Amino acid sequence: MVKGRWLLNSQCRAAVMGKPIAHSLSPVLHRAAYEELKLTGWTYDRFEVDEAALPEFLKELGPEWAGLSLTMPLKRAVIPLLDEISETAASVEAVNTVVFTEDGRRVGDNTDIPGMVAALRERGIEQVDSAAILGAGATASSALAALARICTGEVVAYVRSEARAAEMRQWGERLDVEVRTADWADADRALHAPLVIATTPAGTTDALATAVPERPATLFDVLYDPWPTALAARWSMFGGAVVSGLDLLVHQAVLQVEQMTGRAPAPLDAMRKAGERALAAR
């Protein structure tokens, strides 16, 4: 892990970028960390930037910049503009963190993957013998990469098209994960897995809520607003363990703060509480 430089009262900048970006909770989380770490000169902003504007934006950044958080649609577009990316980022061809080093290099990483693992570990999930993924988008590939670290057996991905199924199987081969694909029409079967990771947009899994088994295991729903989702609410009602998108957001942000500032550990509890307050106020 590459770490940035820090000075207690230095004027350092960081930001989150993407399009759209107004909804991002990243400023809330990072600013809470700076306050807790007493990094009084640090600021964290948000910028709406698309792929076309990204090269010029990066070109204009001065030496006061410590790092960037990236969301869609920039996670792949940024890769050719960097000097180096980590093995983790390369494994899914996606960068969500850029650190500017003291010697001027731009180094990319992906904290979503270890963030998922950390969020699960916090709930006592160290290893599973099988898992199910709902969806097949960019987040699903990160979920597969996380499962490569903790799942010892088969992962079943429930998708809507053969094209998506082929993509998930390809990711499985690349990440050395045993992946079997199944039709979305049978997605209710996923809910019996020891670990279910829902990676779909808001509302997509609502119809599955009535199919939650009487004794569900663990659900990791990557959404956080609105929360809880219908599936997560039903899962909790039946006594199953639920890991939320806010858990993921906080854990990946913790790793970003540590890399950009060089300070560790980042204040997980303070960041989570700040995120919870911000969501409650929406």
Pairwise CA distance, residues 220 & 198, whole Å = 6
Q: Is the whole-model pTM more than 0.85?
A: yes
Provide the token pair at 122. 């916090």
Given a contact cutoff of 8 angstroms between Cβ atoms, the answer to whether 71 and 40 are in contact is no
Given a contact cutoff of 8 angstroms between Cβ atoms, the answer to whether 14 and 37 are in contact is no
- The pLDDT tens digits of the residues spanning 241-265 come to 999 999 999 999 999 999 999 999 9
* Residue 1 confidence (pLDDT): 55
Given a contact cutoff of 8 angstroms between Cβ atoms, the answer to whether 128 and 116 are in contact is no
Confidence class of residue 155 from pLDDT cuts 50, 70 and 90? very high
Per-position DSSP letters for 78-123, written without gaps between them:
TGGG-SEE-HHHHHHT---EEEE-TTS-EEEE--HHHHHHHHHHHT
The H or E element spanning position 48 is strand 42-48
Given a contact cutoff of 8 angstroms between Cβ atoms, the answer to whether 19 and 49 are in contact is yes
* Residue 282 confidence (pLDDT): 87
Which residues have CB under 8 Å from 111's CB, separation 6+? Answer: 96, 97, 252, 253, 255, 256, 259
Q: Choose the catalytic residue: 3, 38, 75, 273.
A: 75
- The pLDDT tens digits of the residues spanning 13-37 come to 999 999 999 999 999 999 999 999 9
Provide the token pair at 272. 């989570």
What Cα–Cα distance (Å) separates residue 35 from each residue in 106, 115, 273?
Answer: 26, 22, 13
* Residue 9 confidence (pLDDT): 55
Q: Is 3 a catalytic residue?
A: no
Confidence class of residue 6 from pLDDT cuts 50, 70 and 90? low
pLDDT(3) > 60: no
Confidence class of residue 10 from pLDDT cuts 50, 70 and 90? confident
For the chain, give the percent of residues with pLDDT over 70: 97
Confidence class of residue 119 from pLDDT cuts 50, 70 and 90? very high
